[in-house]
Structure formats: structure tokens, C-alpha cells
Amino acid sequence: MTTSLMDRRAAQRGERTTGALARAAAAGEQLAWDGLVARYQVLVRSVTRAHRLSDADAQDVAQITWLRAVEHIGGLQDPDRFGAWLRTVARHESLRVLRKAAREVPVEACEPGVVPAVEDGDDDERRAAVRRALRTLPPRQRTLLHVLHTGPERSYETVGAVLGMPVGSIGPTRGRALERLRREVTLRPAAGATAQAR
């Protein structure tokens, strides 16, 4: 819902416009802050949902977004556009959380289910083979697989924004990474399997 529509509905109910609330909140009026939070908390939640953040990350982003509002509301050039400004802040904070998660990729956590199993090996051997194969990937490919194959499903647009990759290069990069993993897992069986074969 746009700010102008919210303001029209607020006016019909005899409530203050967003700009009036933002100016009053900047002046320190607690009721105005309460009004802004009531009016825009759903918007902030919708932004975190669109980025498919975990519940904990979504709560963190919401808190940081409102903290930024407290810090900067007095300096807004156009208080009437508070909702658009808040959406932008929530989006930037959501992407910051996703970028941070993408940088912290433990190899053990990145184990896509599309990698073929090692022949005649059990699950532990397969996991060990996949972990070894993942270590051979360039960091960018490993990070891409982690973002795509762990946690909630994310759109290519979100993944591209998080990793700074053109959307058109995500599929080909993923394909090259998975092909390299398949080759590595096939050519380098688990150490236990190699020992048994001798």
C-alpha cells in the first residue's frame, strides 16, 4: 500500500498524515512514533519476507530499520515520503544481512543435494567427498552454491543483489560449479573407499 493511499485512509478516519506523524515524531512526540510503527510495521515485515530472511534475521532487520528511523527522521528532506524511505532502509538492511551470511560460508554447510553420490559409498563417505570437492571450487562459486542451496529459496534477483552478480550469470556460474563438483566427486572417491579398493 502506498503512502498516499495510507494517508487518504488516515484522513477518512480523522488521523494525521504520514508527513505530520513524521514531523511530530522528529519533535519527540511518542504518540507520533507509535502511529508510524503501527502504520508501517507491516511494510517492514513484507520487505524482510520478500528477501526470505529467517525469523531471527527478519526481527534484527526490523529493529535496525526502526533504529535508523529514530536516528535520521529529523533530517528527512520530505517527511511525507517517510514510508518510501523506510522501505529503502529495510531493503538495504535485508541485503546487508544476506551479504554477511554469504561471506560466512562454512564448507561443511554447503552440500547441495544435486551432487551425485559416490559409488558404493555410504552417506558419510559421500558427505566427505562433497566437502573435499567444495574446497576445490573458487570462493565465488562456493558462495553462490551456499546461497542457492542452503536456507530458504531465494530469487535470482535477490542472489544477484547479495553477491553483486548479474542475474544472467548466476545460472551459468552455478552450472559450472556443479559440473566441477560432479567431476571431483567422481574422480576423487572418499579415502575409505580408496583404501578398501586396494
pLDDT in tens, the chain (198 residues): 556 666 666 666 667 889 999 999 999 899 999 999 999 999 999 999 888 888 888 898 999 999 999 999 999 999 999 999 999 999 999 988 887 776 654 544 454 444 444 444 556 677 777 777 788 888 788 888 877 777 667 778 778 777 778 888 888 888 888 888 888 777 655 444 444 444
- pLDDT at position 84, please? 93
Q: Are 140 and 173 in contact (CB under 8 A)?
A: yes
Residue entry with cell 550469470: 169
Radius of gyration of the chain (CA): 24
- pLDDT at position 145, please? 80
- pLDDT at position 86, please? 95
CB atoms within 10 A of CB 94: 28
- pLDDT at position 35, please? 92
Domain boundaries, the chain: 3-103, 107-197
Sign of the CA dihedral with 113 first, then 116, 118, and 119 last: positive
Residue 63: C-alpha distances to residues 37, 86, 122, 127, 158 (Å): 11, 12, 45, 38, 21
Q: Which fold has domain 107-197?
A: Arc Repressor Mutant, subunit A (1.10.10)
- pLDDT at position 51, please? 86
- pLDDT at position 40, please? 94
Residues whose CB falls within 8 Å of the CB of residue 89, separated by 6 or more in sequence, listed in order? 65, 68, 69
Buried b / exposed e over 41-73, threshold 16 CB at 10 Å, is eebbeebbeebbbeeebbebbbebbbebbeeeb
- pLDDT at position 3, please? 60
Whether domain 3-103 has CATH 1.10.1740.10: yes
Overall size of the chain counted in residues: 198
